[in-house]
């Protein structure tokens, strides 16, 4: 019975679709919460409501991991390939607050983005289901993740730099810095903190990786267009040949049909 249930789930993907969509919605809620708290300047350790919400969302992520583990055909392979998603589902902030450990506000803020990695994986899977072409799925998934990384990096850069960097006056400056770095053009805003410099390198690397993926996507589009054009020409040629062959056989059919009448008249 257990193997039959596993086969049904793997073939239909119904329960996996529901789980990934729920994870995606929860991650979106976390993104909105982080954005609101960042723009309002709410201190990190006074966000008790957010901590409770994040705890329950991480518990759902852990439940999803355990459920998919038991439904997997090859459990040890699933554990090896998805172990990183178990690590990102752990509510680190709640554990730190429970034991009373103290870290810098920058580290505490960066820990808030760890559960979003699970949402990014769910987003890539959902996009892959919606696109039938592998190259298109790769391009759209990477583009979506790139834009999400740019947004999160701009939030972190704004929090870390706006008090120590005179060039970062508002969030618009941080967003401009993130987009300029990801396009590998560079910005007039130079990072002052260590985390800001690391984010500059990460964004530049992600931007350079975008060019070969975009090239593969465009090449795939051209190949698909050429294949459709060749298929259309082959269909037109086949239709013309069939019309010509029918035109050549029709006079013979008429003469064969008239020959009995001619014989009777004679």
Residues 18 and 119 in one domain: yes
| CA distance to 41, 56, 193, per residue, from 163 (Å) | 12, 32, 11
The two tokens of residue 152 are: 């999160």
HSE-up (13 A, CA, CB side) for residue 49: 4
Count how many domains the chain has: 2
Write down the pLDDT at residue 4. 45
Residues 89 and 103 in one domain: yes
Contact 84, 121 (CB under 8 A): no
Residues 205 and 221 in one domain: yes
Residues 116 and 142 in one domain: no
Q: Give, for all 266 residues of the chain, the pLDDT tens digit.
A: 445 444 434 444 567 667 777 887 888 888 888 788 777 776 654 566 677 888 888 898 888 888 888 888 888 888 888 888 888 888 888 888 888 888 777 777 777 778 777 777 777 666 666 666 676 677 777 787 888 888 888 888 888 888 888 888 888 899 999 998 888 777 888 888 888 888 898 888 888 887 777 787 778 778 777 878 788 788 777 777 777 777 666 555 544 455 554 544 44
Q: Which of 62, 97, 130 is the last residue of a domain?
A: 130
The two tokens of residue 73 are: 């055909």
Contact 54, 91 (CB under 8 A): yes
Nearest to 59 by CA among 120, 121, 115: 115
Q: Which of 73, 98, 130 is the last residue of a domain?
A: 130
Residues 156 and 93 in one domain: no
Whole domain around residue 57: which residue ranges?
1-130
Q: Domain containing 218 — which CATH number?
A: 1.10.287.70
Residues 108 and 2 in one domain: yes
Structural element, H or E, at residue 218: helix 194-265
Residues 153 and 107 in one domain: no
User: In Å, how far from its chain's centre is CA 116?
Assistant: 12
Dihedral, CA of residue 53, residue 58, residue 63 and residue 64, to nearest 10: 110
User: In Å, how far from its chain's centre is CA 64?
Assistant: 19
Q: Which of 67, 95, 130 is the last residue of a domain?
A: 130
pTM: 0.67
Domain assignment of residue 264, yes or no: no
């Amino acid at each position: 019975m257990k193997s039959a249930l596993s086969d049904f789930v793997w073939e239909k993907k119904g329960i996996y679709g529901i789980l990934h969509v729920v994870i995606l919605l929860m991650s979106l809620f976390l993104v909105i919460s982080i954005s609101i708290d960042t723009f309002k300047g709410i201190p990190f350790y006074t966000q008790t409501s957010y901590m409770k919400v994040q705890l329950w969302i991480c518990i759902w992520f852990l439940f999803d991991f355990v459920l998919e583990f038991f439904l997997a055909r090859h459990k040890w392979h699933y554990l090896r390939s998805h172990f990183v998603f178990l690590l990102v589902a752990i509510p680190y902030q709640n554990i730190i607050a429970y034991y009373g450990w103290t870290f810098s506000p920058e580290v505490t803020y960066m820990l808030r983005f760890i559960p979003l990695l699970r949402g990014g994986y769910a987003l890539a899977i959902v996009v892959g289901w919606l696109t039938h072409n592998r190259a298109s799925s790769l391009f759209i998934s990477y583009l979506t993740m790139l834009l999400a990384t740019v947004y999160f990096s701009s939030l972190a850069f704004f929090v870390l730099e706006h008090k120590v960097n005179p060039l970062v006056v508002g969030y618009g400056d941080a967003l401009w810095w993130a987009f300029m770095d990801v396009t590998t053009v560079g910005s007039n805003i130079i990072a002052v903190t260590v985390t800001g410099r690391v984010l500059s390198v990460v964004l530049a690397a992600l931007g350079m990786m975008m060019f070969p993926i975009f090239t593969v996507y465009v090449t795939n589009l051209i190949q698909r267009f050429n294949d459709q054009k060749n298929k259309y020409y082959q269909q037109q040629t086949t239709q013309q040949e069939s019309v010509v062959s029918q035109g050549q056989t029709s006079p013979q059919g008429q003469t064969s049909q008239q020959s009995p009448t001619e014989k009777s008249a004679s």
